[in-house]
Structure 1
Amino acid sequence: MDMFIDGAWRPAMAGARQNVTAPATGEVFDTVPAGDAADADIAIQAAARAFESWKHVPMVERVRIQKACAQAMRDNAELVGTTLNKELGRPLLACVAEITRSADLLDVYAEEGLRLTATMSIASGPGEKTVVTRDPLGVVVAITPFNYPVTLLMFKLGAAVIAGCTMVAKPAEDTPLSTLMLAEIFHKAGLPAGVFNVVTGRGRGIGAAMIEHPVPRKIAFTGGTAAGKAIAAAATGTMKRVTLELGGQSAAIVCADADLEKATSAIARHGFANSGQFCYRVNRVYVERPVYEDFLARLTDKAAKLTLAPAGDDGDLGPLVNEKIYSNSEVQVADAREKGAKIVLGGDRKTGTGFDDGFYFPPTIIADATHDMLVLTEETFGPVLGICVVDDAFEALRLANDNRYGLAGFVFAGDLAKGLTLCEGMEVGSVWLNDIHRSSHYVPFGGMKESGVGREKGRYGVESYLEYKTMYLSYEVAK
């Protein structure tokens, strides 16, 4: 598959290519161009030309086109989901669900576009009016990760396009194919050439060239904190705006009066989804001492029922996407063992027929974890949970906040007032009380501290692709 630029497929200028590997089998099943600065410039110039016309397209027409793209995603969900299943390794049904749910977000952004307004002050003098409106920023660069490549792209694309911006996207090296497929699908659904372009290559090559290019006005990035800091620093050279959704090390607090059945069900479901490969999963759990053993037994029982999906078969969890991501889990488990924690479930790589060629790690629970262990201090991005006993819920709150990340938090408490107080005290962008739902398409999503800058989803996402403009109007007053 080639890059999709200005409504057409094209190879890299230098002709270089890179492999796409199926994580379940280790098989190289496709290749994509290994683009460089020259390819970045071609795509950005195409987006800049398209911006000159797209920004003038009436909102109602942009909405019509975006809704057509959303429907095209649904119509092709099985096709794109099958490709995503192969390049990511996640079970097929979950991949198809990612496509359809992402289509819903496009519709939400389209509806928010219809609600955008300008304002006119009524405090002006005779013969004067002051209008505050908003203009689209321009060309946007989107750099997305492997774990939810379609969803996290739509966080950015849907908001940018409805605001009147154009985009050049660079998907992760592990999962480029689903994004490339969507570019063609959207073009066939009516999105004009150059509005959405996709380039492929390595981050330090083509990605850096896009960030440093003088034309784009914004970088939208989801990924690791170290990379996000480097992007933010580079973006200052041309004063680009940034939206950065970065790492997470999200904590759950379980109070002694919590509904343990609900708490353990929610944490098992959320902590191990996508084999733990997402930013706002439960990573660590603080449990009050009176219910610690009961909580641990219930959670272990539920997590033990989750199955791994070997190559060519079904199951709840797929392999980790590559060796680098896999090693996080292995290193954190080894660190916890060395420092005296108990591994009550999992803890070792899964091997055997159907597993040997992929990086499979089973659901793993580390009991008696302490704050000198990596599992309670560093992002895992794998199916490993650290469980820590505490004597008081507010001790748990202190420990939860004693972390450089601030993406999400979770509280389980029978006493609603206590639960709300803990929620208000958590230094995070989103917090759940007494259950864990999917993040809503209508409300802001993003982090505090080193978990990022800015917000995505709903009207908040659209507004981040708009620039305020004040117009001062003067006229002769009729007499």
Structure 2
Amino acid sequence: MKNYINGEWTAFSQEEMHVLNPVDGSLLNSVCRSGLEDVEAAVNAAAIAFETWKKTPIQERVQLQKKLAASMRKQSASIGRQLSLELGRPLTACIHEINRSAELLEYYAEEALRMKGYFPLTNVEGEKVLVTREPLGVVVSITPFNYPITLLTFKMGAALVMGCTMVSKPSEDTPLSTLALAACFEEAGYPAGVFNVITGYGKEIGDALVSHPKVTKIAFTGGTSTGAHIAGVAARTHKRITLELGGQSPAILCEDADLDMAVPAIVKHGFANTGQFCYRVNRVYVHESLYEQFCQKMKEATEKLTLGAGIEDNCDLGPMVNEKIFANAFQQIEDAQSKGARILTGGKRRTGGIYEKGFFLEPTLIAEASPEMKIMREETFGPVIGIASFTNEAAAIQEANASPYGLAAYVFSHNIGRGLRIAEQLQAGSVWVNNIQRSYHSVPFGGMKQSGIGREKGIHGLEAYTELKTIYLNY
């Protein structure tokens, strides 16, 4: 498959990269391994398109975005199938990702109509001051493999409706679904160059995109070390950045926690997408009075989960996307075992039959986890959860905050006052108190500390793709 540049399927580089099915390693398709010429063509197309797109009435941009959402819904089964094949996630969840992303596009479109400038009341005769917003320009979106359409939509839905143009660079593991999405732009009738997709990997193409003089903003979701590198390169030309980086999210269960609520919520959230997302529950701190009971209930619930080939859609978890991601999670299991942890369930790679050629890791619970273990310190990005006990609330909060990450956190307590008090002390961009529902489109999402810079979604997500301008009028 070729790149999508300036409304055409084209590629300058003759190199290809293979996209493999993580279930069995079979070849799904080949896409372009883009080079510098592809970067130049895509950025130039976006820069030229921006000059017209920024002047397009916002009502027209809104209508196009709603058409795009409708096209995504119409194609959700086919795009979802493509995503399931390249990621390994169960098919129903992949189709849900496409439809949920279409919802976010519509939310951004409606919210964009409510964006306003204003006149401060200076009360100076013959003078007025106008504060307005303008689109930033060309935006580069760099997204990971785990939720390729959702995480692109976080950025693209806000940028385009506010008048920016975009070059999207998806993960080398899951580029096919993003290329399939580009076809929806054609169906919706977007002008050429407003949205472009180039595929590939490596430092050369990444640095070329981030450092390009015609690019105004970088929107990146991915690893913390890569985010730091991008921030450094972008800073040389003072580019705007939004970074949503790693997480190592804690959950605290107080002595009055409702286990019938907490256990299903943590199991569902911690093992969704085979644990391959950044704000999943990674470690759990349980009051000593509930510890053994919690461990037993978690074990029972986790052992009901099924592993399988995602496209069959008869399982809860699919394979991990590649060997590197699998190895990191498995290493954390081995590290915990070597330091005295107790494996409640799982802990092994599933082999034989349909599992033989894929990286299938059993959903794993690690009890008696301690602070020096990697499972309690490092991002896992896999179906592994560490569990530790605590005696007093202050100690639990201290351990929860003893991390360079600050993306999400979770609290369970029957006492809402206590839950809110703990939530206020947790160093995280989002905190859930009792149960874990999905994040809403209308509220900001992002992290503190090394989990990122800026916020996506909500009105703040739209504002992130605009620049404030003050105009002084004399008359």
Same fold (TM over 0.5): yes
| Residue 434 (structure 1) aligns with | 434
Between the aligned partners of 2:39 and 2:136, the Cα distance in structure 1 is 19
| Residue 193 (structure 1) aligns with | 192
Instruction: List alignment gaps of at least 5 residues for structure 2.
Output: none
Instruction: List alignment gaps of at least 5 residues for structure 1.
Output: none
Secondary structure in structure 2 of the residue aligned to 1:217: strand
Kept in 1, the 8 Å contact 2:254–2:286? The answer is yes
| Residue 370 (structure 1) aligns with | 370
CA deviation vs aligned residue, 1:419-465 (integer Å, no higher than 9, x gap)? 11100000000000011011111000000000000000011100000
Between the aligned partners of 1:265 and 1:309, the Cα distance in structure 2 is 20
Between the aligned partners of 1:108 and 1:87, the Cα distance in structure 2 is 28
Between the aligned partners of 1:312 and 1:151, the Cα distance in structure 2 is 19
| Residue 120 (structure 2) aligns with | 121
Letter in 2 for 1:344: L
Between the aligned partners of 2:247 and 2:27, the Cα distance in structure 1 is 31
**TM-score, length-normalised on structure 2?**
0.99
CA deviation vs aligned residue, 1:109-161 (integer Å, no higher than 9, x gap)? 00111001110122141111100000000000000000000000000000000
CA deviation vs aligned residue, 1:362-381 (integer Å, no higher than 9, x gap)? 11000000001000000000
| Residue 57 (structure 1) aligns with | 56
Between the aligned partners of 1:316 and 1:191, the Cα distance in structure 2 is 37
Aligned pairs (5 A) from 1:464-479: 464-475=464-475
Letter in 2 for 1:34: R
Letter in 2 for 1:191: Y
Deviating runs (4+, > 2 A) in structure 1?
310-314
Letter in 2 for 1:451: S
Q: CA deviation at 1:29?
A: 1.7
CA deviation vs aligned residue, 1:204-235 (integer Å, no higher than 9, x gap)? 12121100111110000000000000000000
Q: How many residue pairs get matched? A: 474
Distance change in 2, residues 1:430/1:217 (3 Å) = same
1:265 aligns with 2:259: no
Letter in 2 for 1:415: N
**TM-score, length-normalised on structure 1?**
0.98
| Residue 331 (structure 1) aligns with | 331
Kept in 1, the 8 Å contact 2:90–2:311? The answer is no
Between the aligned partners of 2:437 and 2:49, the Cα distance in structure 1 is 38
Aligned pairs (5 A) from 1:45-444: 45-310=44-309, 313=312, 314-444=314-444
Alignment RMSD (CA, Å): 0.8
CA deviation vs aligned residue, 1:384-418 (integer Å, no higher than 9, x gap)? 00000111122111000010000000000112111
Secondary structure in structure 2 of the residue aligned to 1:120: coil
Kept in 1, the 8 Å contact 2:66–2:105? The answer is yes
Between the aligned partners of 1:233 and 1:225, the Cα distance in structure 2 is 12
Between the aligned partners of 1:10 and 1:440, the Cα distance in structure 2 is 37
Between the aligned partners of 1:419 and 1:198, the Cα distance in structure 2 is 44
Between the aligned partners of 2:13 and 2:461, the Cα distance in structure 1 is 36
Secondary structure in structure 1 of the residue aligned to 2:388: strand
Letter in 1 for 2:10: R
Letter in 2 for 1:395: A
Q: CA deviation at 1:25?
A: 1.0
Q: CA deviation at 1:311?
A: 7.0
Q: Name whichever of 118-127 and 245-254 sits farther off.
A: 118-127
Q: Name whichever of 309-318 and 287-296 sits farther off.
A: 309-318
Between the aligned partners of 2:25 and 2:311, the Cα distance in structure 1 is 13
Q: CA deviation at 1:312?
A: 6.0
Kept in 2, the 8 Å contact 1:312–1:354? The answer is no
Between the aligned partners of 1:14 and 1:38, the Cα distance in structure 2 is 7
Q: CA deviation at 1:59?
A: 0.8
Kept in 2, the 8 Å contact 1:124–1:130? The answer is no
Kept in 1, the 8 Å contact 2:90–2:309? The answer is no
